[in-house]
Amino acid sequence: MAAKFELYKDAKGEYRWRLKASNGQVIATGGEGYASAANAKAGIASVQKNAPTAEIVEAAK
């Protein structure tokens, strides 16, 4: 099984997403609630589009 994005509603009724590894462990989340499923899916699409080329940088201390 490959990694997958899960779209769900939280206790406040907001849509959220999380990315799960093939072993079921959550490896990323959207970090915010969305008013609609469409907006949450747009957040997922943004990660899918931009992450493959994202630079890795070390944060300043």
The secondary structure element, H or E, covering residue 45 is: helix 37-50
Task: Report pLDDT digits (tens) over 23-59.
Answer: 999 999 999 999 999 999 999 999 999 988 899 999 9
User: Count H helices, E strands: the chain?
Assistant: 1, 3
Locate the domains of the chain by residue range.
Answer: 4-51
**3.40.50.2300, 3.30.420.10, 3.40.50.300, 3.30.160.160: CATH of 4-51:** 3.30.160.160
Q: In the sheet that 15-20 helps form, which strands lie side by side, from edge to edge?
A: 4-9, 15-20, 26-29
Q: How far apart are CA 59 and CA 50, in angstroms?
A: 19
Predicted structure pTM score: 0.84
Decide which of 14 and 52 is more confident: 14
Q: Tell me, what's the pLDDT at 29?
A: 96
By C-alpha distance, which of 26, 22, 28 is closest to 51? 28
Residue 43 in contact with residue 28, Cβ under 8 Å? no
